[in-house]
Chain A
Amino acid sequence: MTELDRRNFITGLTAILGSASLASLHVNAIEIGETFKPRGKAEFFGDREMEMIKLIADIIIPDTDTPGASKAGVHLYIDHMAGSWMTGEETALLTKCLDDINSGAQQRHGASFTELDQAAQVAIVQVLDDERGENKAYDMLKSYIVVGYYTSEIGATQELLYDPIPGPHREIPFSEVGRVWAT
């Protein structure tokens, strides 16, 4: 949470509870954190692989009226998960996915994925997506892109809706909000 969000958060609480009852609560102790920032440079993938992940993530979740995957730091999230969370088997699968894409690009176009024009890159990802369910490596990459995006601050608060303290639950027509909740 940013400092502005933090202030809104506390103001929102005051509106809900009244300042007197806020004082009697312990909510000020709620720790307001910042976006977890992975180390500045890539910890697992090399530059070319990072570039590929960035491109593929943006092909799957592009900039529209809201920022897309790379602006939400999805490639950094995947790199951090690969470096600090995934098993060797999982990172091998992810690496193989990128290698396969590259060798496919070489065979078909005589160039690596990152060197192709955007239309060719999209075409390659489209083919992979059509094979989803049968291509474990791609399924895994797509899953990480999706999770990385919708659990990011941009994905949750700009693309979807995020409400840390919704107040009493109620049923509403979907049109009242128009988008799914991020959490």
Chain B
Amino acid sequence: MALPGINDFDAVVVGAGMSGGWAAKELCEKGLKVLVLDRGAPLEHGDYVTEGKAPWEMEFRGKFDREIAKREQNFQRTSYLYSDYTRHYFINDRENPYEAVDGTRFDWFRTSKVGGKSLLWGRQSYRWGPQDFESNKIDGNGVDWPIRYEDLERWYDYVEIFAGISGNADHLSQLPDGKFQPPLVMNVVERHAKAKVKAAYPERDIIMARTAHLTAPTEEQLELGRSQCQSRNECARGCSFGAYFSSLSATLPAAERTGNMTLRANAMVLSVLYDEENDRAVGIRYIDTETHEMTDVTSRIVFMCASAINSLQILLNSRSARFPDGIGNSSGTLGHYVMSHLKGVRAMGDISGFEDTYHRGRRPNGIYIPRFQNLNGQQENFLRGYGFQGSAGRGGWINARSRGGIGADFKMANRKPGGWSFSINGRGEMLPSFDNHVRLSKTRTDEWGLPIVQLSVKFGENDNKIFADIEKTALEILSATGATNIKINNKPDAPGNDNHEMGGAPMGRDPKTSYLNRWNQNHDVANLFVTDGAAMSSCASQNPSLTYMAITARAADYAVKQMKAGKI
């Protein structure tokens, strides 16, 4: 270990994805020498091997080999993004096991490359609203957030301008407007649905999805080699245009150009190193996943951005005499209040008419129906609420698989698009509960010696009431649009399947009941920060990535000020 006062780096950032990319950019731009570690294999922006490939260039036309998938990626293969075009970005489940325990199930999607889930995200970018930071205090579930919307507002502005978020100013208090690039546009059936639903239910707004796609790139974005979205809608293969925000396209290049960043791939962090005498984190220990060589790196501050569950795993594994249950865990909250979004209940139906309307370009997003329940006091038989994602579209040649007919007439019929359908998928807020937790196995370690993760996360009574209400509302909304042949799926997806695992290192005011303070700084160990999904004290109903970005930029700003003031 290095001598006191002499550090290898000013900062170590664990993880180079959605949050880690931001930590890297902000800390580097403020002049710190930063080491960024990512457990994934190296991946350079632009080195996207399946990008632009036509179906006929793929061995199985995009279908993945089911035997290999079952053997190597038995869980990852259930992702809606998993195909022959994308499977190399997903982790190998056989080599990276985890356990859902206590009779639970948890779907945990993970990536295998530098850039993490910022490469594979759905790009939905919504601010959380004032109600989302107040609900824990109001209904007493979870830990009261130590910040409110106003604390984050200018950081939302800041990250939106850099990342590039397309969206419309909809003037909804529960879903604050941002610094938007022009929105992508609704299609004719979505506009029809919007009008019909508004007429029947004035409080239910259908808006254009707000997504991290460049529609009018700024000078700064062009300088970083990013350009306008080309409507390929093949985002998950990687986008050399840098048209959607990822750490590879945006934050890491920004960090790189400062000359202050050292990025190491295949670097799996095992623990945060702790100096009991000075009560500080002194760095991290990581192992090279290829060579199995172990390295200790010292630094003045540590930013945990490994994605929620991985960050918790590392923190729980950072044990010392003072912190036998994980570094900085005097509160006993580390690993608790794990959440995910309530997803899976959805409805679709056919919309007749509009047959002459078609599209050029594959729009990479859809519509959004923001939460409209319990916004003016408690009105429903459940706490908090839910929104919907959705879209309208027309069937294509794929319908021909079950279409009757043979010969020239059949071939001719397949040239025409099918009718329109409209679908909406509920996304609900799961209540934070101390019982829902991550712990480490006492008996199993992975190939690199890290105890494997055990997850115990269940939906509670309020969550199930929300699922039931989503079903009822979805039917109402579809009916209001005049849809026929309405099909409902009322079976919730398992926790985690939303890809939005959060919590476990909750921010809070009281060091006895929370893990982090209002600056994402550990209550016990002042130079340890956690700014990924683990820090979320509640999960709102909106997609979380934009909030991770804002909270990370804010924490980095604070950390550097504290360092300069000699406080950490």
> Could you tell me which A residues sit within 8 Å of B by CB distance?
1, 9, 16-17, 21, 24-27, 29-36, 59-62, 64, 68, 77, 80-81, 84-85, 87, 122, 125-126, 129-130, 132-133, 139, 142-143, 146-148, 150-153, 156, 159-160, 162-183
Contact = CB atoms under 8 A, between A and B. Distances in A.
A174 B48 contact: no
5 contacts: A151-B62, A160-B397, A164-B52, A167-B361, A178-B415
B356 A159 contact: no
Interface in B397-430: 397-398, 400-402, 404-408, 410-412, 414-417
A80 B65 CA distance: 13
A61 B411 contact: yes
Given A166-B232, A168-B215, A172-B360, A59 B46 contact: no
B59 A168 contact: no
A60 B363 contact: no
Interface in B409-465: 410-412, 414-417
B47, B61, B363, B404 interface centre (most CB from chain A within 10 Å):
B61
A132 B242 CA distance: 45
A30 B66 CA distance: 27
Interface residues of B, number: 63
Nearest to A64: B408
B63, B230, B232, B357 interface centre (most CB from chain A within 10 Å):
B230
A168 B56 contact: no
B245 to A, nearest CB: 16
Interface string B223-243: 001011111100000001110
B45 to A, nearest CB: 6
Given A30-B52, A169-B184, A21 B222 contact: yes
A168 B406 contact: no
A1, A68, A130, A169 interface centre (most CB from chain B within 10 Å):
A169
A150 B400 contact: yes
B277 interface: no
B396 interface: yes
A160 B466 CA distance: 43
Nearest to B249: A26
A126 B409 CA distance: 13
A38 B227 CA distance: 37
Given A168-B229, A169-B363, A59 B222 contact: no
A33 B402 contact: no
Nearest to B65: A85
A166 B411 contact: no
Given A142-B401, A169-B362, A175-B356, A164 B240 contact: no
A35 B56 contact: yes
A76 to B, nearest CB: 11
Contacts of B558: none
B185 interface: yes
B60 interface: yes
Contacts of B58: 36
A60 B361 contact: no
A77 B60 CA distance: 8
A147 B61 contact: yes
A17 B384 CA distance: 45
A33 B53 contact: yes
A33 B232 contact: no
Contacts of B46: 25-27, 29-30
Given A61-B410, A132-B404, A29 B60 contact: no
Contact of B359 (A30, A159, A172): A172
A-B interface, 7 closest residue pairs, ranked by CB to CB distance from nearest: A26-B46, A169-B361, A166-B361, A151-B55, A33-B57, A174-B358, A169-B231
A95 B228 CA distance: 49
Contacts of B410: 60-61
A32 B11 CA distance: 40
B54 A153 contact: yes
Contacts of A156: 54-56
Given A26-B240, A151-B61, A171-B359, A166 B230 contact: yes
B415 A143 contact: no
B355 interface: yes
A153 B58 CA distance: 11
A164 B229 contact: no
B374 interface: no
A87 B70 CA distance: 13
A154 to B, nearest CB: 9
B84 to A, nearest CB: 10
Contacts of B53: 31, 33
A116 B251 CA distance: 66
Interface string B330-367: 00000000000000000000000001111111110000
A120 to B, nearest CB: 14
A175 B357 CA distance: 9
A156 B62 CA distance: 14
Contacts of A31: 49, 51-53
Contacts of A167: 230-231, 360-361
Interface in B1-57: 45-49, 51-57
Contacts of A147: 61, 401
A126 B396 CA distance: 23
Given A1-B57, A30-B48, A152-B56, 19 more contacts: A9-B52, A17-B227, A21-B222, A29-B47, A29-B48, A31-B49, A59-B406, A62-B411, A122-B407, A126-B406, A132-B404, A146-B400, A151-B61, A165-B52, A170-B361, A171-B187, A175-B356, A177-B358, A180-B414
